Amino acid sequence: MQAKPDNFTLVIFGANSDLAARKLFPSICELALWGEMPEAFRVIGVGRSELSHEEFRSLVHEKLARFSPETVQDEAAFLKISRKLFYVRVDLEDVAGYHALHNELMDVSGERGICSNLLFYLATPPALAPVIVRNLESAGLGEKTVFCGGWRKIIVEKPYGRNLQTARELNRVIGEVFSEERVFRIDHYLGKETVQNIMVFRFSNGIFEPLWNRHYIANVSITIAEEFGIRDRGSFYEETGLLRDIMQNHALQLLAAVAMEPPVDFSADAVRDEKAKVLRSIRHFSSDSAETSVVLGQYEGYRSEKNVAADSKVETFAAVKFLIDNWRWKDVPFFVKAGKNLAETVTEIVITFKCPPQNFFGMADSCSYTANQVILRIQPEETIALRFGAKRPGEEVITDPVYMKFDYRTSFSDSGLTPYHRLLLDAMAGEQMNFIRQDSVEYSWAIIDSIREAIGGEEPSLYAVHSGGPDAAQRIYG
């Protein structure tokens, strides 16, 4: 565990959101119960509803009872935490409400740091981010208008804009109010234990890194599949779609972690430099290359979901073959598949190695059956497996694939922190390694924009619910 953060106030815009209910309030209260929060901290929820402090505390208790019941089992412990919860009603588009927030921030009991150190969390729709940042500055709450010393930081949820143009504009607006080292663009995948272990697996084990290149690896496959649909997020998905929701951030961040060069040291800047270089090196798409490298799909029944247009062309599935034009990965395909309402919920990375130059143990083309693989399972299990070929018992020489597997749950007694626990602590401490830097955001959007421009208004292929996706997706693996 890192040292406890400074005393501070966390201001959550969108305090009534699903994200706040499911992830933020449980994580904050659990960290407090575990003794990981500073001696003096406050949480100020900001929303449009008219609530008193006590009504807000009751609302948080209700949400915790549903999503984190263990945090409210000890009523005395929760009561102590609840006294640190406050609420301010703000019309996010009206700067007047931000002055009320300013007054609430100044109304403190004198604990050192609690008014001077401010962490803003934007748990709001992406379109509101520029509005909130501008109004914070107008109300004297930005980094450059310090009213009682200390620091200002801001956490921004994905998606960071809708395309390269809006991402650049968002970065420009935020950059006018907060310096880059105070901006934390959160992607919860980067807080997952298995994702954080990719660098350790590669760079601390001498048997893997020498083989981690185009000479030995045939392809890399990344899958982010969910067996459920969009649930109650019809309006969000109609505006976003899967390319923006999953591919631009989660998928490309996993790809960058697998493909990055060794950093010069284990600092945030050094690690993020190498990830940015990978994203910058990914080949953009033309209409010709997209024809064989991109398949978009939509699950049957999506157009009947709540708040979805009857003629919607929004994709709920994407399969893309990426190529990285650099020395290490030239001509190695990175297959990325992501989708809703697929056969299972799984996130995994499979690195498939090339076959030996000669195959003595079966037909010449049988190597694919037993090809060496490293399989990094991120969810639902957290495992790392190595696949290799072994002789089946008996007189005949028949080769079968076998596995050696490492499981976090059985190997370590400490289950570790959840992604939101870890990332909240990192932001409080100012540690940026597991957050996305401005240049990486823009490189990612340039890639996604090239896909959208290449496919134009193409109708997504329909696929059955709980299937593997559209049949056409198989063509990108050819």
Sign of torsion over alpha carbons 52, 102, 30, 195: positive
63 is in an annotated binding site: no
Q: Helix (H, G, I), strand (E, B), or coil: what is residue 377?
A: strand
340 is in an annotated binding site: yes
192 is in an annotated binding site: yes
Half-sphere exposure of 210 (CA within 13 A, CB side): 3
DSSP 8-state class, residue 292: H
Angle 59-229-465 (CA atoms, 0-180°, nearest 5)?
155
CA dihedral 448, 450, 455, 459 (to 10 degrees): 20
How far is 220 from 238, CA to CA, in rounded Å?
30
Q: In the annotation, is 284 catalytic?
A: no
Q: Write the single-letter amino acid at 410.
A: T
141 is in an annotated binding site: no
4 is in an annotated binding site: no
Ramachandran region, residue 389 (left: φ > 0; alpha: ψ -120 to 50; beta: rest): beta
**Listed residue (448, 163, 450, 459) closest to 302, CA to CA:** 459
61 is in an annotated binding site: no
Give me 445's structure tokens. Answer: 């959007």
74 is in an annotated binding site: no
- Name residue, tokens 């006018």: 176
Ramachandran region, residue 379 (left: φ > 0; alpha: ψ -120 to 50; beta: rest): beta
The answer to whether 247 touches 318, Cβ cutoff 8 Å, is: yes
How far is 153 from 139, CA to CA, in rounded Å?
16
Half-sphere exposure of 29 (CA within 13 A, CB side): 30
Ramachandran region, residue 40 (left: φ > 0; alpha: ψ -120 to 50; beta: rest): beta
Strand partners, 225: 339, 346
Among 61, 250, 284, 466, the active-site one is 250
Instruction: Give the residue ranges of the annotated binding site for NADP(+).
Output: 48, 91-92, 158
Active site residues: 250
Instruction: Give the residue ranges of the annotated binding site for substrate.
Output: 188, 192, 226, 245, 340
Instruction: Give the residue ranges of the annotated binding site.
Output: 48, 91-92, 158, 188, 192, 226, 245, 340
